[in-house]
Amino acid sequence: MKHLYGITAAVTTPFYEEGDIDIPSLKNLTDFLITSGVNCLYPCGTTGEMLRLTPKERKKIAETVVDTSAGKTTVFIHCGAMTMNETADLLCHAKSAGADGAGIVTPQFFHASSEELYHYYVSLAGRTPDFPIYIYNIPQCAANDILPETIERICKDAPNIIGIKYSYADLDRTISYLGINDRRFSVLHGYDKALSALLMLGCDGTVSGVAGVFPEPFVKVYESYLKNDIPGMKYWQKICIRFCDILKCGKNMSYFKEALKLRGITQGFMRLPQLSIDIGEVSRLKQELEELCRTAHIPLRY
């Protein structure tokens, strides 16, 4: 089974001004990320605005990214939704569309016990038993947190659940996840500001929204890590941190959209209820990105 590793770019969903999905820009973005050297792609997650999309739209995005990547990089489709039936439908579609695997966020909004989370994931994994799945744990947004001991149980009964994408800055929990299944459990983190440290700790990589906009410094961090180039890794990590700060770490997706527009990759429109940033903030963003790109020798315009 394939797994996520290295720099996995969380793919932004481009929109037209009226709110429809901009498929040509999505193809352009996919090509850009592959050309920039990311190891994997992860559409339809938080960065992809999953809960603002219909199931039909999510399937079209999955098909577009898989077809555009054409086997040049690993593609895992995020399939978590508000209902189990919709999640299962998206999961089966991801497999039939030719994706390499899937991610499934914990159930959202309503509280789920550890026992309920166990049954949820084991049941879903049984729908596609030979298709690799990553649990996606982002408790600050989903309102449910999955414990290491629960995942241990899940792995015993659902061997195609092979890893987790953890998006909360809890180092002790990360260490516990790394020990699951006799340390054969794949752990990717979403805390980009600590990417270098997390790689050294044993994480397989990151699933990063910021890397979906400026992949270049993240790719450099991972390449430096593989070469055991500690000075290089430290330098590029500092650049990554600056990009994270400027882009608000993904807390407001309109910064990602505007940055991609500045790079000439997508049009930069948001879908309601979220609005685009105002003209003054656009000016500030452009100035800060131009300065950082000059420092890091990264072209702002792609």
Catalytic positions: 136, 165
Pick the closest to residue 52 from 94, 20, 99, 23 (CA basis).
20
CA distance 66 to 297: 31
Residues 6+ apart with CB under 8 A from 44: 11, 13, 50, 53, 58, 61, 62, 77, 78, 79, 90
CA–CA–CA angle 105, 111, 117 (5° rounding): 50
Percentages helix, strand, coil for the chain (3-state, rounded to 5) are 50, 15, 35
Q: CB atoms < 10 A from the CB of 284, how many?
A: 13
Angle, helix 114-127 to helix 84-97, in steps of 10 degrees: 30
CB 170 within 8 A of CB 152: no
